[in-house]
Amino acid sequence: MHNDDLLIAYSNILRRKASLQVDLLAPEQKFMEDILLEAKQVLSVSYISIWILKEIGADTIIECVAHTEWANGNSPDVFPTLNKNDFGNYFSAIEFGESIVAHDAETDERTAEFLEPYLKPQNIKAMLDTIIFQDGFPSGVICCEQVGQTRKWRKEEIHFAEVISDCCTYRFMAKKQALLEVELEKLAFVDELTQAFNRRFFFESIDSMHAFHKRNDYPLTIALIDLDDFKKINDTHGHDVGDKVLKKLVLAVKSQLRKEDLFCRFGGEEFIVAFQCLNASQAKDVLKRVLQSAIDNPVQLDDKEIEYSFSAGVCQVNFDDNISKSIKTADTALYKVKETGKRNIAIGK
C-alpha cells in the first residue's frame, strides 16, 4: 500500500479509536496517550505533544498537557508553558486558526522565536502544529516535531496531523461533557451548604447497602444526629452563624468516620449516618468521640466562641424489617435524649 493510502487508512483507525470509551476524568496524558503514540508511529516523527491555551490573570499562555515522551506514567510534576509575551508570532498563528507547517523550524517566522531556548538545545529542525478547536475557536495545538533534519511536510501528512487535532477536539468535548455531568450529579446529591451528601443520596444508596449486609450477615447501624438548640443559635446569633455551626458539625463527624460510612444531611439541622459493619454499641462509641470533639471545639468568631452540641439516636438494622423502621427507631431514641437533657447518644430498641 502506498504511504498516502496508509495515512488515509490510519486516519480512519484514529477516528474510530477516538470514539472508544476512556476515562475522560483522568489527566489529558492518560486519556490521549493511545492516540498520540499511534500517531507518532504512523507519521514517523520524533515527538508529538498537546498544548492547551489558558488565561492566567492578564497573560495568555499555552501549557503542554500530554507528550509522547511522558508515556507510562512519566509526566513531570510541573508542565511546560509558553507565554504569549515571549512568542508573539507563534501565538498569533495559533489564534489565526490555520495549521503551522514549518518545514524548517529555524527559519519559519512563526517558530523561529524558539531557536535559542528550544530548537537548538533539542535539535528540532521541523514542526507541524495543527489546531485544536473548542466552540469554534482555537483552544490549543497538536505539535509534531522532527529531530535532526528539516522535513518537507506533505499535504497528506498535514491532513493526518489535522485528524489528530480533530480526535483531541472530540475527546476534549467529551471530557467537558463528563465534567458537566459530574457537576450536575454533585448538585443532585450533595448539600450545597455543608458539602455532605443529601437525603436523596442516602435513599439512592441505602437499599444496596442493606442488601449487601443482609446477604453477608454483617451488622449495619443507622444513627440520626440533631443539633441541640439550633433555633436558639439562629435567633441569638443569626443564620450566618447557624450555617457555620452546621459546617463545623459536618467536619467533626467526617473526621471520625471511615470512607465506607455513609453520612448525609437529612434535613435542616438533622443528619443521618449508616455505619457499615458496626453494631449499635460500636457506632455509639464513634458518635461519643464526635460529640466530645464538638464540645471541645466551639465555633470561633472574631470576638467570641459559639458552643454547640448534638443529640443522637442509634439503631442496629434488623434485616427482617425495612430501612424505614430502623430510621424510625433511631429517631425515637434521639427524641428520648432530647427530652432528658440533650448532649447524649442513645441506642433504640
Would you name the residues annotated as active-site residues?
269
Helix (H, G, I), strand (E, B) or coil at 300: strand
Distance of CA 213 to the CA centre of its chain: 30
C-beta of residue 62 within 8 angstroms of C-beta of residue 82: yes
**Residue 339, number of CB atoms within 10 A of its CB:** 9
Listed in sequence order, the residues at least 6 apart from 149 whose beta carbon sits closer than 8 Å to its beta carbon are 125, 126
Question: Residue 114 and residue 145: Cα distance in Å, rounded?
Answer: 13
Radius of gyration over alpha carbons of the chain, in Å?
30
Strands (E), 7-86: 47-56, 59-67, 81-83
Region of 133 on the Ramachandran plot (φ > 0 left; ψ -120 to 50 alpha; else beta) = beta
For residue 144, what are the β-bridge partners? 48, 128
C-alpha cell at 302: 472574631
Helix (H, G, I), strand (E, B) or coil at 305: strand
